[in-house]
């Protein structure tokens, strides 16, 4: 149960996404229902069935204080994490020169880490042998480097870790960071997810799984969660990072507060390496655990930011899980999928979608599920189709479901003293 003596609040948000590289452009794009999906430009996708993705545009590492030298020593997923973390930290208004950095930690998840480096360095090996492989191969590809680099960049010496639970990584990272503060091991945590895996091997792998949309002639309509004509997800890249603080710490420095994180649930389907539990029981367990942790009832939840990948199985089964956990209230709660506009950021998805959940509560404005044109009888909830909706949102949950059966649910609510 949540210890009310260790309440945890959200005081900073940062994002690098296909629809904006800072919070306001990102949020404006979502509310306007804009898609960031387009033809892939960073590699030759002509041989692939899927030729579209949500790529990051106009990203300059130096804008975020990353030197040219350091840029060469880190992969894109790390650069995105640093950039989004810098935004989130600055958003808090904290004076880092006066902060106790022994009590500030970092927990950033990534589903894959760097495939770009593996592909590039293996090509160098084939061409010139072992001596041609970069000494930075290992430090550049491993998943924990995002957390490590962010800590080094800002001098944070508190708890530091990473999560790699496929597409649930970002949500698990935020949930674990929440619990670190709640139990008193840190005062402030930088947490979320980051990913940059639009590469030939990732594209080939997901294509072989038949998981990707092939609506190449209509990129902006390709990601269509819960729609009857959905044909797969769209790969995307970016980062979603938040700052969590104990309420006591935030209050002492009179911080502005977006919302309060109050619940975290996690579970496993224990069913299949890629397919979700066909009855939705695993995802439902995570939802119910988050509700118990927050000491809230299903009727207290006004909005669900769904995992909503735009695949046939995920959307049907997530709908089943919501109905199982919420009962009659499932027909009343608003549900939408950010992935309809930004695509699927894999390990970063949960971080970006938690940012959306916080903005939804702050603004009492729900971003839509775009491209919802043909109702699916298996997906029969209120998906806030195509147009943003003004509505009071007292509490929201954000779902993430990952390969391997990993499920995570975060619950965030309006902050009240």
- Catalytic positions are 167, 307, 344
Residue 174 has a CB neighbour count (10 Å cut-off) of 34
Chain position carrying tokens 């998805």: 349
Using only C-alpha atoms, the chain has a radius of gyration, in whole angstroms, of 20
**3-state secondary structure (DSSP) of residue 121:** helix
- Asked if 386 contacts 370 with a C-beta cutoff of 8 angstroms, the reply is yes
Structure tokens at 297: 């009832």
The whole-angstrom separation of Cα 308 and Cα 411 is 17
DSSP 282-318: HHHHHHHHHHHHHT--GGG--EEE----S-HHHHHHH
The whole-angstrom separation of Cα 232 and Cα 335 is 19
Q: Which of 162, 137, 159, 411 is nearest to 298 (CA)?
A: 411
- Segments of 331-371 assigned E as strands: 334-336, 365-366
Chain position carrying tokens 């033809």: 39
Q: Which of 2, 40, 37, 39 is nearest to 17 (CA)?
A: 37
């Amino acid at each position: 149960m949540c210890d009310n003596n260790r309440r945890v609040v959200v005081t900073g948000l940062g994002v690098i996404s296909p629809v904006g590289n800072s919070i306001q452009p990102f949020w404006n794009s979502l509310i306007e229902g804009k898609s960031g999906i387009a033809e892939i430009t960073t590699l030759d996708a002509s041989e692939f069935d899927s030729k579209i993705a949500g790529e990051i545009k106009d990203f300059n590492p130096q804008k975020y204080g990353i030197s040219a030298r350091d840029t060469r020593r880190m992969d894109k997923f790390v650069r995105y994490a640093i950039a989004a973390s810098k935004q989130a930290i600055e958003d808090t208004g904290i004076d880092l020169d006066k902060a106790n950095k022994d009590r500030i930690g970092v927990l950033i998840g990534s589903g894959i880490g760097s495939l770009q480096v593996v592909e590039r360095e293996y090509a160098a090996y084939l061409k010139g042998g072992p001596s041609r492989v970069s000494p930075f191969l290992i430090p550049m590809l491993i998943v924990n480097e995002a957390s490590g680099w962010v800590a080094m960049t800002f001098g944070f010496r508190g708890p530091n870790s990473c999560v790699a639970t496929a597409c649930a990584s970002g949500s698990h990272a935020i949930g674990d960071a929440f619990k670190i503060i709640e139990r008193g091991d840190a005062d402030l945590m930088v947490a979320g997810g980051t990913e940059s895996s639009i590469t030939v091997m990732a594209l080939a792998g997901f294509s072989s799984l038949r998981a990707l949309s092939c609506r190449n002639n209509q990129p902006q309509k390709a990601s269509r969660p819960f729609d009857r004509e959905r044909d797969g997800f769209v790969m995307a890249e970016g980062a979603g990072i938040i700052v969590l603080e104990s309420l006591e710490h935030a209050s002492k420095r009179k911080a502005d507060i977006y919302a309060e994180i109050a619940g975290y649930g996690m579970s496993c389907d224990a069913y299949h390496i890629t397919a979700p539990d066909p009855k939705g029981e695993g995802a439902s367990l995570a939802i119910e655990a988050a509700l118990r942790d927050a000491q809230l009832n299903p009727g207290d939840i006004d909005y669900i930011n769904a995992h909503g990948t735009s695949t046939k199985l995920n959307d049907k089964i997530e709908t089943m899980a919501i109905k199982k956990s919420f009962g009659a209230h499932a027909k009343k709660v608003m549900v939408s999928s950010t992935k309809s506009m930004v695509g699927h950021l894999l390990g970063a998805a949960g971080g970006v979608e938690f940012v959306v959940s916080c903005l939804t509560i702050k603004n009492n404005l729900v971003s839509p599920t775009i491209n919802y044109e043909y109702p699916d009888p298996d997906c029969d909830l209120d998906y806030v189709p195509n147009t943003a909706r003004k509505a009071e949102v007292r509490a929201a949950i954000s779902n993430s479901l990952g390969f391997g059966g990993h499920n995570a649910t975060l619950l965030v609510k309006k902050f009240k003293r």
